[in-house]
Amino acid sequence: HLEAAEGITIDLLICCGDFQAVRNLDDLECMSVPNKYKELGTFYKYYSGQAVAPYPTLFIGGNHEASNYLWELYYGGGGGAHINFFLDRG
């Protein structure tokens, strides 16, 4: 919508914190949020290959992430097609 409305092209999406890359129900147990906010969301579709991000996406970990998953990507890496973890919160 933004591209059409503004007449621009999006080349890269950068998400700075609280991306909430939750792959499965086990990841929910590692999130530092109250239980009422724990939701699987749609990231698992991108992680599993069921969906592809429309833009190359870099995400930076925030304080409400599945810490177990981001620890596996300590040096950065893939989160799905066109999605990459860049670094942990600073």
Whether residue 90 is predicted with pLDDT greater than 70 in this model: the reply is: no
Provide the pLDDT confidence category of residue 49 given band limits of 50, 70 and 90: very high
Whether residue 8 is predicted with pLDDT greater than 80 in this model: the reply is: yes
Percent of the chain's residues with pLDDT above 70: 97
Give residue 89's pLDDT. Answer: 55
pLDDT, the chain, mean: 86
Q: Say how many CA atoms lie within 13 Å of 14 toward its Cβ.
A: 4
